[in-house]
């Protein structure tokens, strides 16, 4: 039709893979030439592709600021901010629309004091928020909605001070990006009457004091230490109250793993709960292997969450095994990473044959052998009779 254009909003990865799934028999018959049929299909009818870029840290800071303005201000007052923001972006699209802009736009209005404090604190962590929430506006808004719910629950317990509210935000960011440390911190807090010594040691290290944190290597990341060291300190507030609202049923789905797509969770469940190793291998080889890199990392996160709960989880190790043996991207590296974080001595010796085949595949990699060394029974199973003679 003349002078007609169609705008198609779609996730090209999902469409491409849907085509691959629909025509898998044709692809199999075509061999190498059929591998890109999904991408070729998209190219046939999309003449002018445009990929919406991920948000930048500055855009996250602006977006978070506007979301809090919308929450704190009356509708008509917020409309003033929206108009000012629209005018601002016409000439300053690469700058942050921040608190100074808002106060200037609302000179004739009374601005809630808590709004300024909250915006100032939250935008300080805009990069961490972006990283934790995949630079996705929908997830960021969902996160801030949950933060407001949890703050309201704190208020029901008569906890309304800014220290507790900001400490809650820090805790939620740890929950999003560092779920293992979130769980560990919860165990420390709930297992002690006062402030856990582990928390005090990590806070001291984060502030630059010379401390031996060899027992807390999982805490030694830049953004995590920034969250720990920024005021208010966790040691200054009632962490049990913060964990209570963080684990409440209203917001229980806000854990980091809940951000994993339904599709990835479904594939993971098909492999993890498979009724036989034959089915498990089939899922790993034919479905998990075809995932994009970011989705594969989500599968590994799910596996790691199982193994962190119990290192005796045969199913999780079996999924890792079949991913590795079928050359799934980064499976071996992720296995090494999780082995360095769990109690290796608890791994069932019955998995010896699987670990033996992994070792053989990677030329008896010294790093893997060293990681498995604490589990003498597993090592003996791997080495078989030769191992007995060496003993």
pLDDT tens track for 7-41: 988 887 788 888 877 887 887 787 777 667 878 88
Give me the pLDDT at residue 256, please.
54
Look at residue 385 in the predicted model and tell me its pLDDT. Answer: 41
Average pLDDT, the chain: 86
The more confident residue out of 82 and 26 is: 82
Lowest-pLDDT range of 78-92, 201-215, 225-239, 341-355: 201-215
Tally of CA atoms within 13 A in the half-sphere of 30 that contains its CB = 12
Q: Which of 23, 115, 5 is nearest to 64 (CA)?
A: 115
Q: Which pLDDT does position 46 carry in this prediction?
A: 86
Q: Could you tell me which residues come within 8 angstroms of residue 287 by beta carbon, excluding any fewer than 6 positions away?
A: 267, 270
pLDDT digits (tens, 9 = 90+) for 88-119: 999 888 889 989 999 999 998 888 888 888 88
Q: Which of 262, 204, 264, 272 is nearest to 233 (CA)?
A: 204
Predicted confidence (pLDDT) at residue 293 exceeds the cutoff of 80: yes
pLDDT value for 127:
85
Radius of gyration of the chain from its Cα atoms, rounded to whole angstroms: 25
Instruction: Give the Cα separation of 345 and 351 in Å (integer).
Output: 12
Q: At 257, is the pLDDT very low, low, confident or very high (cuts 50, 70, 90)?
A: low
Instruction: Note if the pTM is more than 0.85.
Output: no
Q: Is 365 exposed, middle or buried (0-12, 13-18, 19+ CB in 10 A)?
A: middle
Q: Which domains does the chain have, with CATH numbers?
A: 1-52 (no CATH), 57-257 (no CATH), 260-390 (1.25.40)
CA distances (Å), 29 to each of 290, 324, 335, 348, in order? 17, 26, 34, 41
C-alpha closest to that of 324 among 349, 351, 355: 355
User: What pLDDT is stored for residue 247 in this prediction?
Assistant: 67
Burial class (CB in 10 A: 0-12, 13-18, 19+), 49: exposed
pLDDT of residue 252: 43
Q: What local confidence, expressed as pLDDT, does residue 258 receive?
A: 55
Model confidence band, residue 85 (pLDDT cutoffs 50, 70, 90):
very high
- pLDDT, residue 157, reads 83
Point out the least confidently predicted range of 82-96, 258-272, 324-338.
Answer: 258-272
Residue 80: is its pLDDT beyond 50? yes
Write the pLDDT tens digit of every residue in 341-371. 788 988 999 999 999 999 999 999 999 999 9
- pLDDT on residue 284: 96
What is the per-residue pLDDT for 260? Answer: 72
Q: What is the pLDDT of residue 79?
A: 94
What's the pLDDT band for 122 if we cut at 50, 70, 90? confident
């Amino acid at each position: 039709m003349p002078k007609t254009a169609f705008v198609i909003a779609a996730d090209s990865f999902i469409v491409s893979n849907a085509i691959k799934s629909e025509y898998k028999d044709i692809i199999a018959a075509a061999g190498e030439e059929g591998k890109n049929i999904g991408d070729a299909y998209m190219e046939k009818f999309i003449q002018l592709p445009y990929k919406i870029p991920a948000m930048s840290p500055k855009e996250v800071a602006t977006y978070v600021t506007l979301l809090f303005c919308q929450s704190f201000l009356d509708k008509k007052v917020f409309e003033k901010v929206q108009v000012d923001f629209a005018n601002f972006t016409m000439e300053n699209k690469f700058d942050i629309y921040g608190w100074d802009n808002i106060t200037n736009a609302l000179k004739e209005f009374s601005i809630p004091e808590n709004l300024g404090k909250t915006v100032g604190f939250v935008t300080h962590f805009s990069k961490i928020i972006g990283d934790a929430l995949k630079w996705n506006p929908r997830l960021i808004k969902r996160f801030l909605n949950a933060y407001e719910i949890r703050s309201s629950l704190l208020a029901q317990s008569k906890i309304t001070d800014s220290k507790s509210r900001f400490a809650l935000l820090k805790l939620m960011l740890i929950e999003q990006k560092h779920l293992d440390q979130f769980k560990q911190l919860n165990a420390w807090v709930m297992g002690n009457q006062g402030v856990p010594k582990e928390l005090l040691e990590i806070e001291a290290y984060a502030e630059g004091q010379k401390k031996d944190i060899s027992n807390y290597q999982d805490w030694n990341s830049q953004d995590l230490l920034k969250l720990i060291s920024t005021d208010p300190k966790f040691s200054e507030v009632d962490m049990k109250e913060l964990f209570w609202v963080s684990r409440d049923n209203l917001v229980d789905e806000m854990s980091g793993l809940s951000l994993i797509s339904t599709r990835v969770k479904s594939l993971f469940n098909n492999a993890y709960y498979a009724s036989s190793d034959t089915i498990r291998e089939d899922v790993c080889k034919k479905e998990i292997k075809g995932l994009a890199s970011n989705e594969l990392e989500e599968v590994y996160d799910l596996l790691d969450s199982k193994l962190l709960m119990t290192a005796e989880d045969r199913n999780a190790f079996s999924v890792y095994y079949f991913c590795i043996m079928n050359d799934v991207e980064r499976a071996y590296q992720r296995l090494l990473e999780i082995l360095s974080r769990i109690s290796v001595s608890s791994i069932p010796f019955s998995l010896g044959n699987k670990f033996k085949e992994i070792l053989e595949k990677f030329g008896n990699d010294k790093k893997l052998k060293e990681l498995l060394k604490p589990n003498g029974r597993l090592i003996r199973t791997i080495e078989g009779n030769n191992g007995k003679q060496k003993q």
